[in-house]
Structure 1
Amino acid sequence: MSRKSALIFWGGWEGHEPEACARIVERMLTEEGFSVHSAQGTDILRTDDLGRHDLIVPLITQVQVAPEAVQNLVAAVEAGTGLGGFHGGMGDAFRMEPAYQFMTGGQWVAHPGNIIDYRVQVTRPDDPVMAGIGDFDYRSEQYFLHVDPGIEVLATTTFDGTHAPWTKGTVMPVVWKHRYGEARVFYSALGHVAAEFDHPQMQQILRRGLVWAAR
């Protein structure tokens, strides 16, 4: 039986430590039995046969991308290549590309207060991605996202309004999955920098989510 293939493309804003995070995700997927190719930048989206991969992991923040690169990515996912990722590396990769955002199910817009303590509430403890994981405390950017109402939400966070009073009581998805065409799509808002992989729930949720998303 051949190993599943995963592609990680990384880069963009250095504050998210994309190279270090890419190495961690590559190791994680290798442990899960994937053959992993990791590439810097978005050129790989134009030159690679993306459909040969079972999973694609965007790990790139706030970059300009060639239209044909986005078209190739969206087409591959619609045809069945899984998509999974986390934080700004997937949720703020291409701000100017609504087709990409339609596929991912959401787009980052703010993180009031920057690095803060907040609580993550598990809404689907019956889902295999969340099995055995209860509500937990987390310290990072609390992402405020514009989201597709059709996503399947696995965990949320509630804004207390300390840093943006008008957001008080807003319940925001943190972890979700959905279908796009023939593919599975997974997203977690957790994981601002590489050190956050030391948080056991963050790492477990992402690991399981990426495996679930793979074709």
Structure 2
Amino acid sequence: MNQKALIFYGGWEGHDPEACAAVVAGMLRDEGFDVRSEPGVAVLGEADLSSFDLIVPLCTQVEIKKEPLERLCAAIAAGTGLAGFHGGMGDTFRAAPAYQFMVGGQWVAHPGDMMDYRVEITQPDHPLMQGIGDFDYHSEQYFMHVDPGNDVLAVTRFDGTHAPWVKGTVMPVAWTRHHGEGRVFYSALGHNASEFDVPQMKEILRRGLVWASRGTGR
């Protein structure tokens, strides 16, 4: 039986939620997943979330009521995987600390907006990072509030050009963690659908999606 994935997408259109959802759905289908992709967050209050092996949030700056949020958190704690990227997962429910606790971080700024920066792989021998060396990237350089318990796989360094007070700050770009029995993966890369053309961005996300899914190797 194929693994099952749920993608819910929407929110701020600048992140190309529908286009990104289509790309991620295709990636997951290539990995053998049965994929359900739904606009908005209503599905979180209606579907049997525990029936999915993986849930992928692709909503930026949306609101959620208490009950569907509790259902989502409970499903992840019971073993469903959670994985995603950029603001679609790192700035989904800005007013929901329980969600941020589960993700392990929350976006707060991107000084300089779209810019060139360097991504440094901190665990080159980790299965999710093997063969992916440090690389240059053009996008928003995310400054996030992060959980110090995250298992950080990649970082970026702020040079202070656009916010001098954060010069020298080393910021996680990609991490894994656990929430109860569920595995969680996050990557800050991927402002819009065009960034899937960057092979390192796409491969890191592909590996993270598969890793987080229930029933795959740790």
Cα distance in 2 for partners of 1:210, 1:125 equals 18
Cα distance in 1 for partners of 2:4, 2:114 equals 34
How many residue pairs are counted as aligned between the two chains? 214
Q: Does structure 1 residue 34 correspond to structure 2 residue 33?
A: yes
What is the deviation of 1:64?
A: 1.1
Q: Does structure 1 residue 23 correspond to structure 2 residue 22?
A: yes
Q: Tell me the residue number matched to 2:77.
A: 78
Q: TM-score w.r.t. structure 1 length? A: 0.99
Cα distance in 2 for partners of 1:163, 1:77 equals 37
Q: Tell me the residue number matched to 2:115.
A: 116
Q: Does structure 1 residue 138 correspond to structure 2 residue 137?
A: yes
What is the deviation of 1:85?
A: 0.1
Cα distance in 2 for partners of 1:124, 1:48 equals 37
Cα distance in 2 for partners of 1:194, 1:172 equals 23
Q: Does structure 1 residue 152 correspond to structure 2 residue 151?
A: yes
Cα distance in 1 for partners of 2:63, 2:85 equals 19
What is the deviation of 1:67?
A: 1.1
Moved over 3 A (4+): none
Q: Does structure 1 residue 8 correspond to structure 2 residue 25?
A: no
Q: TM-score w.r.t. structure 2 length? A: 0.98
Q: Tell me the residue number matched to 1:98.
A: 97
**Letter of the aligned partner of 2:126 in structure 1?**
D
What is the deviation of 1:66?
A: 1.3
SS of corresponding position for 1:89: helix
Cα-Cα RMSD: 0.3
**Letter of the aligned partner of 2:167 in structure 1?**
K
Gaps of 5+ in 2: none
Q: Does structure 1 residue 211 correspond to structure 2 residue 210?
A: yes
Once the two structures are aligned, what percentage of the paired residues are identical? 67
SS of corresponding position for 2:21: helix
Q: Does structure 1 residue 48 correspond to structure 2 residue 62?
A: no
Cα distance in 2 for partners of 1:66, 1:19 equals 22
Q: Does structure 1 residue 69 correspond to structure 2 residue 68?
A: yes
Cα distance in 2 for partners of 1:64, 1:8 equals 17
